Amino acid sequence: MQITNQIFLIRDQKVMLDSDLAELYGVKVKRLNEQVKRNKERFPEDFCFKLNSSELAQIKSQIATCSSLTPRKGVTPTVFTEQGAYALSFVVNSQQAIEMGIFIARAFMHLRRFILKNENLLMDMKNLDHLSKRFKDHERRIEQDLTVVYRNLSQIEKRFLEIEKRLEAVKK
């Protein structure tokens, strides 16, 4: 299962849907959410929260199949941050939940590394762009200098021709 495709960015946090986590933990969404309600102290706002309609639309636009996003009897999905997804493995009592908690923690870690690697590549590209601009500036200056040298060379050549003509005239 490609779990990184089930991680979304909402409110500047990487989150997973309750329906995706329920499937991973081998329980029904209703059971998962019941456990969250029974253990509210383990799930502060930075661990899980309900999606509003614009956030729901944002996630729907990111995935092709949205059956898991259809509100259940008017209830919008709950999403869980990395910490919330991991905390679920402690309240959903099954071996699969324990294994999936560890798996999810590793998936978020993999995603963090991937993002960090791409941020580093982006920084490298910005540095290359900066160097490219500096190179173009130097190239422009060299062209200007060569133009000046060429003009001066043309004037020097004219003077040499004049001197040669005078020398030839003196020789005759």
Q: What is the pLDDT of residues 17-40, one digit of tens each?
A: 999 999 888 899 999 999 999 999
Contact 99, 88 (CB under 8 A): no
Residue 7: helix, strand or coil by DSSP? strand
Instruction: Say how many domains are in the chain.
Output: 1
Q: What is the pLDDT of residues 52-73, one digit of tens each?
A: 988 988 888 877 554 455 555 6
CATH number at residue 24: 3.10.260
Mean pLDDT of 82-111: 83
16 in any annotated domain: yes
Domain range for residue 92? Answer: 3-122
8-state DSSP, 47: T
Report the relative pairing of strands 78-81 and 48-50 from DSSP bridges. antiparallel
